[in-house]
Structure 1
Amino acid sequence: MIIDSHQHFWNYEPVKHEWIDESMSVIRKDFLPDDLEKVYAENGIDGCVAVQADQTLIETDFLLDLASKYNFIKGVVGWVDLRADNIEAVLETYKEHEKLKGFRHVVQGEPDSNFLLRPNFLKGISILEKHHYVYDILVFPHQLGAVLEFVKRFPNQKFVIDHIAKPYIKDGFYDGWAVLMKEIGKHENVYCKLSGMITEADFTTWTPAQIHPYMNLILDAFGTERTMFGSDWPVCLVAGNYKRVKELVVDFIAKTSSTEQAAIMGGNAIKFYNLQ
């Protein structure tokens, strides 16, 4: 099975989605399961994990409602306020939702580069493991030092780094990001998504050759058993289309065995998110 480990849905609202700036105007509209189902049929995708794009419980409920109506949505990564005093009670309210697999916070948008290490956030993360939820790490490279300390504290919690931690591909920055990603990759509870890469390069002039060094590092650091394909649809549309995003990964991993390719393109996502 080919599973897209990372995509989004939304009913576009200018204020709620203010992060979609002028350079990304092509995605200033609604993107819903009927749209994605057509794209998946064209590209041979069997299912996906829908990831939050707004930090509200309404967003989590919205994605779970879609997942209940569309079988190809195999899992949901929602949002809860992990810093809240009542986090345990909030998680209890979701325990009947089998497709809710984990949570994410938009840490890249937090001004504090050590946000992940705040005591109240750490307390919330410590409760996830008990409830068998995973956590998606969304950060920029300057936050990777905190990520390293963070994952060390929770050796039994499953983590995945979204979008290879958004290295500044457009500017050619590599070394600092690479050093920290190698260290993080030594922790076997941490996976990484080969996703969101073309939007970190120049939207109009990127080439696979520019992105390959970053992908090489991820395969070296996390191995084929902890790396997974993700499209970041519809965000990817600002720099390409679904076919190009899939081909970028498929062509790159062609050098690996068929078993390893199957793992990256679906098996690892199924294992990590415990998809049915």
Structure 2
Amino acid sequence: MTVIDAHQHFWMTGRGDYGWLTQESGDLYRDFLPDDLLPLMRKTGVDGTILVQAAPTVAETQFLLGIANDHDFVKGVVGWIDFESPTVWDDLDQLADHEKLVGLRPMIQDIADDDWMMSEHIVHAFEALTSYGLTFDALTYTRHLKNLELLIDRHPEMRVVIDHASKPQIADGAYAEWAANMRLLAETTTAYCKLSGLVTEAGDNWTIDDLRPYTDRLLETFGPERLIWGSDWPVCTRVASYEKWYETTLELIGGDEQVRAAIFGENAIRAYCL
């Protein structure tokens, strides 16, 4: 099967546009670049990746597209533009000709206004994204999910991927509200959902049994045809190695080869039109 890691990052600390990445970030506070990831991909049999933005700047998106130009294993880039800019169509036009730009991701989790995505003054940004055939990566928490359903209803032609299963608070045992809202999204929209970032939300001492209720709910509601595997490397290395998360996912989803092929590659190819 073709294996696509649908969520990984590269960064260079010297760029200076990662507001969240500081010396307090510990082992994450260093450069992570293709030569760091390639040995991990070879070890696990990963064929290609989707490279996702980590800074809210167009400059970082251009930096990532440059990496994608130089490395064939990067099959697509999910970038960033300012959704609030009055020139969003022109801004996107400068990026959209790049064949490896496959999506956009505003960093909703860092925006103070939980209703931001429903603001009238950014409707044109979602219209532009959809017009250019790009995918919207939704970086959300549980508290955003009701608005996300409304947003998808407003833009029914927009392809949507929910990052990190909307970051359920696994370490705190929070489940019911997240599970109910994810079921509603699965039943009322065509959104995809990433099996990524869950070990980070489970914390340092996570076990597979901590994760299983969440992945079981996702398999039940989104089904294997709308789940997409991603490593969230190098963020995942806070609590798990690349190989450990890969192997854990295999165990969580079971041994059916068709299910594995869909979650580990086929769905990403569809969701991002690779």
Please report the RMSD computed on the Cα atoms of aligned residues, expressed in angstroms: 1.5
What are the superposed Cα offsets for residues 37-78 of structure 1, whole Å, 9 maximum, x if unpaired?
Answer: 111111110000000000111011001000000000000000
Matches within 5 A, 1:25-40: 25-40=26-41
The normalised TM-score by structure 2 is 0.96
| 8 Å contact kept, 1:163–1:194 | yes
Residue aligning to 2:55: 54
Residue aligning to 1:137: 138
Matched residue pairs, number?
Answer: 273
Structure 1 residue 20: Cα displacement: 3.6
| 8 Å contact kept, 2:23–2:29 | no
Residue aligning to 2:199: 198
Residue aligning to 2:228: 228
Q: CA distance change for structure 1 residues 42 and 266 in 2, over 3 Å: closer, same or farther?
A: same
- Equivalent residue of 2:112, what SS? coil
Matches within 5 A, 1:89-128: 89-128=90-129
Residue aligning to 1:245: 245
Structure 1 portions without partners, runs of 5+: none
**Separation (CA, whole Å) in 1 of partners of 2:26 and 2:207:** 22
Residue aligning to 1:4: 5
Q: Which moved more, 1:28-37 or 1:146-155?
A: 146-155
**Separation (CA, whole Å) in 1 of partners of 2:114 and 2:189:** 24
Matches within 5 A, 1:212-227: 212-227=212-227
Structure 2 portions without partners, runs of 5+: none
| 8 Å contact kept, 1:193–1:230 | yes
| 8 Å contact kept, 1:46–1:72 | yes
Q: CA distance change for structure 1 residues 96 and 17 in 2, over 3 Å: closer, same or farther?
A: closer
Q: CA distance change for structure 1 residues 79 and 14 in 2, over 3 Å: closer, same or farther?
A: closer
- Equivalent residue of 1:94, what SS? helix
| 8 Å contact kept, 2:9–2:234 | yes
- Equivalent residue of 1:225, what SS? coil
**Separation (CA, whole Å) in 2 of partners of 1:105 and 1:26:** 25
What are the superposed Cα offsets for residues 163-209 of structure 1, whole Å, 9 maximum, x if unpaired?
Answer: 00001000000000111111111244300000000110122x10011
Residue aligning to 1:150: 151
Letter in 2 for 1:216: D
Letter in 1 for 2:271: F
The normalised TM-score by structure 1 is 0.95
Letter in 1 for 2:152: V
What are the superposed Cα offsets for residues 141-175 of structure 1, whole Å, 9 maximum, x if unpaired?
Answer: 11112112111111111000000000100000000
| 8 Å contact kept, 1:24–1:238 | no
Structure 1 residue 14: Cα displacement: 9.3
